[in-house]
Amino acid sequence: MKYSIYILILLLSHVTMVSGQKYFTKTGHVSFYSDTPLEKIEAQNKSSNCVLDLATGKLEFAVLIKGFQFEKALMQEHFNENYLESNKFPKATFKGQIDNYTKIDVTKNGKSTVKVSGDLTLHGVTKKLNTDAVVEIKAGKIDADATFNILVADYNISIPSLVKDQIAKSVKVKVDATLEVLK
């Protein structure tokens, strides 16, 4: 009898651990847009990883640079080879948190706007990033959208003068991820 109580507690401890309110995705969409009068550049990555810990508000993102798809193959090659140097810096990561994470109630469907802050590491350079994100709860899943701008020069990405009019100095980044419970 006593033995079975131990087993029960043991199991319970695992249950609470598992339902530690962590949410994840491996198919988050990250896209960016560089818009100049001469050239519109768009690239998309559909396999970014994200984990959100609702107990603490901690949020982490990782994107493989080589996973970005461009319309033009040559752009994709130059992006990897010359600008982001994906062999040297294969991943871009974001480590931060949702400041007002207590606003998120997964038990109720609905939309809310939250503040996200943290460190974005790109091309080996880490910079602070603050942005608003829209969080929508749908049937126990968290759909998160965010749009922010980053300055190319901030991340030590050098653009040769020959193409400086084709590449925007400020690049718009869009993130769209649907997170499920991490089991």
Structure tokens, 133: 């994100």
Q: Which residues contact 22 (CB under 8 A, 6 or more apart)?
A: 51, 52, 53, 54, 55, 181, 182
* Cα 60 from Cα 95, distance rounded (Å): 5
Q: How far is the CB of 71 from another protein (least distance, A)?
A: 4
**Which is closer to another protein, CB of 4 or CB of 107?**
4
**Which is closer to another protein, CB of 3 or CB of 108?**
3
* Cα 140 from Cα 178, distance rounded (Å): 11
Q: Which residues contact 14 (CB under 8 A, 6 or more apart)?
A: none
Q: Where does this chain bind another protein (CB under 8 A)?
A: 2-3, 6, 9-10, 13-14, 16-17, 20, 22, 24, 26, 31, 42-44, 49, 51-53, 58-60, 62, 64, 66-67, 69-74, 77-78, 80-82, 87, 93, 160, 162-163, 166, 182
**Which is closer to another protein, CB of 139 or CB of 162?**
162
The candidate with the shortest Cα–Cα distance to 20, out of 52, 59, 50, 49, is 52
Q: How far is the CB of 95 from another protein (least distance, A)?
A: 8
Q: How far is the CB of 132 from another protein (least distance, A)?
A: 21
Q: How far is the CB of 109 from another protein (least distance, A)?
A: 25
**Which is closer to another protein, CB of 64 or CB of 150?**
64
Burial of 105 (0-12, 13-18, 19+ CB in 10 A): exposed
Q: How far is the CB of 136 from another protein (least distance, A)?
A: 20
